[in-house]
A and B are shown apart, each in its own frame.
Chain A
Amino acid sequence: MIDQLLNLACGLFLLSAIGVLWRRELSALIALLTVQGLALTGIAVLLAVDRHSVETAAVAVGVGVLKAGLLPLLLRRVLARVPEARETAPLVNVSASMLAAAGLVLLAYAAARPLVALAPTSAAQAAPVGIAVVLIGFFLAATRRRAISQIIGVLLVDNGIAAVAFLATGGVPLVVELGVSADLLLAVLVLQVLTARLHAAFGDTDLDELRELRD
């Protein structure tokens, strides 16, 4: 039962990342990021139940608050201040992005073999899903032109790593988890301020405009 729910949560986790590549409305991207945060919380809760671990349960609550609540909220505030609804023209179009995502998922399964081989539990079997989301996050940050899309790319990378940590090891030690979460929250706050400054300085958040510094 727990295994089936875990697979469901992992599937939802990966699908929401692929959805981020598919949709262009920035508000839809933030909604998908919220869904992914909830899926990650689900993974953590299921692992906590499976291992009867109070510590993991506490971490799961923290992850839920941060990744399904606080971070999407911050992004919505950015979007409210910077009135751009859509990703205009991504460097790679949607259908090619879908193909790339399929390739990245295969690559993730190949790269994660040592991780899966190490602990053949059903949770560890799903660890490649996390790596796939990391790779999709890189792809998003590299091919999108809106500042918010890049922030979402950074967050996908982080969600993917968190998923790998939960699935392969049951979660990193609490003190590390706390430090990582604090860093992530502060980094997004910094990026939020910088997005507003980009908008003020360039009149836009199209990152193609960033050409002041060249050699």
Chain B
Amino acid sequence: MPPSLALYLPLAAPIAAAGATVLLGRRVAAWVGVAGAVTILATGARLAATVHDGPDVTSGLLRADALTAFMLIVIGAVATIACWAGVHHLADEAPEPAAARRYLILVQLFLAAMSLAVLADNLGVLWVAVEATTIVTAFLVGHRRSRASVEAAWKYVVLCSVGIGIAFLGTVCVYAAAVAAGAHGTTALNWTYLASHTAGLDPDLIRLAAGLVLLGFGTKAGLAPMHAWLPDAHSQAPAPVSALMSGVLLSVAFYAIWRYKAVTDLVLGPGYTRTLLLVAALASLTVAAVLLIAQRDYKRMLAYSSIEHMGLIALGTATGSRLAITAVLLHVLGHGLGKAVAFCGAGQLLRLQGSSRVAAVRGLATRQPALAGTLGLALLALLGLPPFSLFASELGIARAGLSAGQGWAVAAAFGLVVVAFAALARNGAAMLLGEPQPTTDPPTSSGRPRAAAIAPLAVGLAAAAALGVSLGPLRDLLHAATTTIVAGH
């Protein structure tokens, strides 16, 4: 496979899978969707091998460097779990054929939009792709047409469209600065061009642009105080879609922030974005910790846990040293896997239990040992306990912050992480352990999830644990991806 073909495959595979859905039966189409996700994963690995000992792969508006390859691996890995779990989700929920088809098509288009976002060399195209993710996921969030579902979808589309609009204003400012510095047309928004021609860019305009971009993509990444849409959307979407939105979409929005940071830090020095990111990080961790304490709904609990992890990623990005960025990238992958498993497990629990209230679930370990085991392990992974990789990445983020002289921020942040830890652990223990309630209100549907439905979750957990033990071939890729963020290009 020639490398430039590999640039188009992560877009073509999910779009082809979406097209095939029209012709195929529901069950086959769901498996074709899994194939689309695996293709993204495989292409990411292929591109990683190419860019590791060679130049970037470029074709038209698309380009892949080590960071792109890494993000494709994250998207592909989380999507594989989510689509595989989605096969069983569809079999269990058994929606109308038209609704099932719409679900499968929109999920594949969602994957294509995220792949385009990380493959685009042009910052304008990156923006278009991130906005496209909002559009294709709107009806996935609002799939049930209940009051809660429609409300979540409305807030999601309006807040994210306005937020991402701010990021476009920032993009226009960068374009104006580049044009004034002598660039022309499409080139003026190419990341490679900007990163290598920072000398002529007007610092005042870039400062304005950096603030707008951080505010805009920060909305999409769920950073406080622009997070209001996130718990609603993530708790209302079908479980596999929640897994994708929480596990990768937030990181894809953060990817945009990294690309801009690489350019703006060269113009302004690292201090400006560091301050903004530190504020966002501490605000996000505070919001997550406070709202986790009183949380009574386990899907919303997982959503606030995502805000917590985005806060940690913002903290590491603010530090900005090589160690910090490597830890942040590892954190993105570990969180993606852990959160995908947790959301898909929560989806199965919701189907068995008929309620997403924490109080409705008691003694799951005795009633549903397999499901309780996967959910429990996923929660342990998200809490940052070994052997899962989030342990190593949180340690890395803390160490990098301390050695960069941000002791106060690290202390405050990890104090809040401990609060969130206690809240998650308490709710998790209440759900999984203890005596099963004498059933006053019996669960709506009995029976256990089949072993086949647990399999994707087990694979995700195994991957997260393996990453925590050894990075293996990912080590070189992580270091190369770190270089693109830290040193521009």
List A residues at the B interface (Cβ < 8 Å): 111, 113-115, 117-119, 131, 134, 137-138, 141, 147, 150, 153-154, 157-158, 161, 164-165, 168-170, 172-176, 179-180, 182-183, 186-187, 190-191, 193-194, 197-198, 200-202, 207, 210, 212-213, 215
Contacts and interface: CB of A to CB of B under 8 A. Distances in A.
Interface in B133-186: 134-135, 138-139, 142, 145-148, 150-155, 157-158, 161-162, 165, 168-169, 171-173, 175-177, 179-180, 185-186
B420 to A, nearest CB: 14
B162 A215 contact: no
A163 B67 CA distance: 34
B146 to A, nearest CB: 7
A194 B236 CA distance: 15
Contacts of B176: 115, 118-119, 168-169
A157 B168 CA distance: 10
Contacts of A161: 165, 168-169, 172
Contacts of B61: 175
Nearest to A161: B169
A213 B156 CA distance: 12
A183 B128 contact: yes
A210 B134 CA distance: 20
Contacts of B80: none
A213 B152 CA distance: 8
Interface stretch (B28-36, B199-207, B308-316, B474-482): B199-207
Shortest 7 CB-CB contacts between residues of A and residues of B: A176-B124, A179-B128, A114-B204, A212-B148, A173-B186, A114-B205, A183-B131
A210 B151 contact: yes
A158 B165 contact: yes
B231 A215 contact: yes
Given A114-B202, A169-B175, A183-B128, A141 B150 contact: no
29 contacts: A114-B204, A115-B205, A119-B180, A131-B169, A141-B162, A150-B158, A154-B158, A161-B165, A161-B169, A165-B175, A169-B176, A172-B124, A172-B175, A173-B189, A175-B61, A175-B186, A176-B125, A179-B124, A183-B128, A187-B157, A190-B138, A193-B139, A194-B138, A194-B142, A194-B157, A197-B150, A201-B146, A213-B231, A215-B291
B172 A191 contact: no
B208 A210 contact: no
Contact of A175 (B122, B146, B162, B168): B122
Contacts of B65: none
Given A114-B204, A165-B175, A173-B186, A201 B165 contact: no
Interface of B: 61, 122, 124-125, 127-128, 131-132, 134-135, 138-139, 142, 145-148, 150-155, 157-158, 161-162, 165, 168-169, 171-173, 175-177, 179-180, 185-186, 188-189, 202, 204-205, 207-208, 231-232, 235-236, 291, 294-295, 300
A193 B150 CA distance: 10
A182 B125 CA distance: 12
Interface centre among B128, B134, B177 (most CB of A within 10 A): B128
Contacts of B158: 141, 150, 154, 191
B183 to A, nearest CB: 10
A191 B177 CA distance: 33
B88 to A, nearest CB: 27
Contacts, number: 146
B465 to A, nearest CB: 32
A173 B185 contact: yes
B63 to A, nearest CB: 15
A139 to B, nearest CB: 11
A78 B263 CA distance: 42
Contacts of B236: 213
B213 to A, nearest CB: 13
A43 to B, nearest CB: 14
A190 B135 contact: yes
A117 B146 contact: no
A213 B151 contact: yes
B147 A118 contact: no
Contacts of A119: 176, 180
Given A197-B145, A213-B148, 11 more contacts: A111-B208, A134-B165, A165-B172, A176-B124, A179-B124, A179-B125, A187-B161, A193-B139, A202-B150, A213-B152, A213-B155
B165 A176 contact: no
Given A141-B158, A157-B165, A194-B153, A180 B128 contact: yes
A120 to B, nearest CB: 11
A210 B155 contact: yes
Given A158-B165, A165-B172, A173-B186, A114 B155 contact: no
A210 to B, nearest CB: 4
Contact of A194 (B125, B127, B131, B150): B150
B423 to A, nearest CB: 13
A6 B189 CA distance: 27
B179 to A, nearest CB: 5
B181 to A, nearest CB: 9
Contacts of A111: 208
